[in-house]
Structure 1
């Protein structure tokens, strides 16, 4: 599985599209076991310059640090809130169905559904 170089990853984090040779990496990035933490980090990277600008504000260091913390918490809230839509958009941009999910999670859900239907037949 081919991985993007740092410059390609930065463009990908800012909403760009990776080459078709990296489709499997994108699929794993968006549906793999650590997809949620990766999504949060990927969402925070483009906002880093804004957080850095808060260091230029006048005032005590603890006050500027509090401003950055508040901005990061607000950003994480919105990143997590819009995660399904953003994930679907990225999947579609790279040629995958928008409802693609982790294969392990899909098989586990199918097994749970089969067990439920076997137990509670109508």
Structure 2
């Protein structure tokens, strides 16, 4: 079930989301998924949506709705905090798992720093 466009098929994508490594032929797709535009948003959606769906079961607890909602919040708030805090670590781990250079995880930061450095050097006559 190989897609000619260089993107993984449905079942390969589900496996990828669950943590499985894709074959080397999808390296470009993986690199774009982990470091391209919207990578952080995709990561957060993939991590938080399934958990929120499970946490919604707390709303079925008998009693006032605020009891279930507060139990959800007690689990969801730290989860969001640690998910955001570990984004960089997660990216590096996924890059290593797919045989890519983990330094690519911060390529966008280095690109922004280079633009700022070039602008600074032009502004102050060093270029």
> TM-score w.r.t. structure 1 length?
0.74
Aligned to 1:81: 85
1:18 and 2:22 matched: yes
Tell me the CA shift for residue 72 of structure 1: 2.5
Q: Which moved more, 1:95-104 or 1:12-21?
A: 95-104
Q: CA 1:22–1:87 in 2, change beyond 3 Å: closer, same or farther?
A: same
Structure 1 residue runs without a partner (length 5+): none
Query: d(CA) in 1 for partners of 2:25 and 2:66?
Result: 46
Query: d(CA) in 1 for partners of 2:66 and 2:58?
Result: 12
Q: CA 1:97–1:51 in 2, change beyond 3 Å: closer, same or farther?
A: same
Partner SS for 1:87: helix
Structure 2 residue runs without a partner (length 5+): none
Tell me which of 84, 93, 101 is aligned to 2:97: 93
Number of residue pairs matched by the alignment:
121
1:35 and 2:39 matched: yes
Contact 1:13 1:46 in 2 (8 A): no
Contact 1:57 1:64 in 2 (8 A): yes
Residues 62-108 of structure 1, C-alpha deviations (whole Å, 9 max, x = no match): 43233224423221111111111111000111111111047666444
